[in-house]
Amino acid sequence: MELRQLRYFVAVVEEGGFTRAAARLHLAQPGLSAQVRQLERELGQPLLDRSGRSVTLTEVGRAVLPYARAALAAADSVRQTVDTYTGLLRGRVTLGLVSGATGRAFDIAGLLADFHQAHPALEVALTEDTTERMQAALLGGELDIAVLGPTEETAPPGLAFRTVVDVPLVAAVAPGDPLLGLAEEGTTVPLAGLRDRPLICLPRGTGVRAALERGCAQEGFHPRVTFEAAAPHVLAQFAARGLGVAVLPAGEDAPDPDGPLRTLRIVRPGMRARIAVAWQTGGPSSPAARALLDRLCEALPKLPAGGGRA
């Protein structure tokens, strides 16, 4: 019995068949099938029922599966322990990124490139999603780390945050928009001034949208969001064409003050957009994920709001 045979058996079970398992393992299907049959011959019992359209476990296979997974996990732990002592990182880290979070001061691509150069044997899988779905994925173990826009003032139970961006929200409008007539000292506008106006904002599940909806609820109205986009610069483009008032984070992702848009900081109540690095309380379980988290925390600015590493 070989570890690779157990790995092949587990892959067939998880993928529901030999074709998808072979693709996942980058093997030819006949070779994969032959190795699983060799394992069954050594054990003296069939582990898989191949009589139907899909491959299913036999009674013996169901009993063997947890031990096969435990053996593979033990082997991975041995490798991780040796790698820790030799300074070599292997494995796979899953990193989530909220749409629109990148920018000149937030160079995820450069950071990951440097990290890959330092640890070439380590694979980093990067996905984009909303904050709410990424928080659920972190709690469910589907993500190791996420760079997200918190939708609440404090981290949900089971998660830790480190805030790296904390800026006010602004309203961006085209020149001549009536909202400019409500500007106070030419720089701010009360949130009540957005009542009944067509708004352009990030989708639900993002921190900016959650902050806007909380603020409007405090003022007794629902925001009338007529256009949504995942990137702040797209929201600005919509506003420049006179399609409504864009609600954006201030800073480098907001429109150029000398450009075709005018921005006013939203007050009474003031609302803020935050970006945070998030992980499960207690830290990621694998050495590789811990190394990437340390690199993120070293490279990104540290702000006092939003908590710190656990």
Q: CA 208 to CA 271: how far, in whole Å? A: 9
Q: CA 224 to CA 217: how far, in whole Å? A: 12
Phi, psi dihedral angles at 184 (to 5 degrees): -100, 120
Looking at residue 308, what is its pLDDT? 37
- Count Cβ atoms below 10 Å from residue 209 Cβ, excluding itself: 22
Q: CA 22 to CA 38: how far, in whole Å? A: 16
pTM of the model: 0.63
Looking at residue 172, what is its pLDDT? 93
Phi, psi dihedral angles at 150 (to 5 degrees): -55, 135
Looking at residue 101, what is its pLDDT? 62
* 39 touches 33 (CB < 8 A): no
Section 87-109 average pLDDT? 72
- 104-108, 163-167, 184-188: range with lowest mean pLDDT: 104-108
Helices and strands, number each (H, E), in the chain: 9, 12
222: left (phi over 0), alpha (psi -120 to 50) or beta: beta
DSSP label at residue 14? H
Question: Can you name the residues that pair with 145 across neighbouring β-strands?
Answer: 95
Q: In Å, how far from its chain's centre is CA 178?
A: 38
State the average pLDDT for the chain. 85
CATH class of the domain comprising 3-86: mainly alpha
Quick one: 98 exposed, middle or buried, by C-beta within 10 A (0-12, 13-18, 19+)? buried
**Looking up tokens 């918190």, which residue turns up?**
150
| 306 pLDDT tier (thresholds 50, 70, 90) | very low
Residue type, 278: A
Quick one: 307 exposed, middle or buried, by C-beta within 10 A (0-12, 13-18, 19+)? middle
Q: CA 29 to CA 36: how far, in whole Å? A: 11
- The CATH code of the domain at 89-310 is 3.40.190.290
- E runs forming strands in the chain: 48-49, 56-57, 91-98, 122-129, 145-148, 159-173, 188-190, 199-201, 225-228, 245-249, 262-267, 272-280
Token pair recorded at residue 33: 């099938």
Residues 6+ away with beta carbon under 8 Å from 238: 200, 227, 229, 244, 246
Portion of the chain with pLDDT greater than 70, in percent: 88
pLDDT in tens, 52-83: 878 999 999 999 999 999 999 898 888 777 76
- Residue spans of the domains in the chain: they are 3-86, 89-310
